[in-house]
Structure 1
């Protein structure tokens, strides 16, 4: 099993979610986050005053999936989350040693279905 974390722009989430659903991925967690990288924030104007926005709004998607689902998810993320601009995000993949469903005590891949 693998855990996939993807940091994406909020405005591409609907397209990514639809692509994941078509690929058969039903379960994911979404967290609103803020961060900076090469994009380095931006300058905003509020009531005539300029201010620096050091951190930009992003979404973090988290999924624990079977190994066979990793590449289809990567393909969806690369296709649907890309705008071609700096700040499109990142994908991180981690090994998962074990998964346990608390309610039924199921262990392993069955626990993530």
Structure 2
């Protein structure tokens, strides 16, 4: 089982979500996050004053899938989240030892 975490631009969420639904992903967690990478933030003008925006708003999508689905999920996220500009984000893939569904007590792939 794999946990896939993707940091994406907020306006790409609907496109990514719909594409993941189309390939059979039934659940995901989305969190509003802030951070920076190589772009190191930017400067914005507000009422004539400059403000240094050090942390860029992003969204983190978390999906847990079987090993066989992981590659398809990653390629789908890349395809739908990519703009070709700096700040498109990152995808992290981790291996999970176990999963437990609290309501039923199911474990492993049955709990996904």
Which TM-score tier does this pair reach, normalised by the shorter chain? over 0.9
SS across alignment from 2:17: helix
Alignment-derived partner of residue 4 in structure 1: 4
- Give deviations 1:21-60, integer Å, cap 9, x for gaps: 1111111000000000112111111111001000000000
Confirm whether residue 71 of structure 1 aligns to residue 71 of structure 2. yes
Match of 1:15 in 2: 15
Equivalent in the alignment of 1:35 = 35
Q: Secondary structure at the match of 1:87?
A: coil
Count of aligned pairs: 112
Gaps of 5+ in 1: none
Are 2:71 and 1:82 equivalent residues in the alignment?
no
**TM-score (norm. length: structure 2):** 0.97
Query: Deviation digits for residues 45-98 of structure 1, max 9, x if unmatched?
Result: 111100100000000000111101101111111100000001000000000000
Distance 1:38 1:104 in 2: 44
Q: What is the CA–CA distance in structure 2 between the aligned matches of 1:65 and 1:30, rounded to whole Å?
A: 15
Aligned to 1:25: 25
> For the residues of structure 2 that align with 1:89 and 1:111, how far apart are their CA atoms?
29
Task: Give the superposition deviation at 1:107.
Answer: 0.9
- Partner of 2:24, secondary structure, is coil
The runs of 5 or more residues in structure 2 that have no matched partner are: none
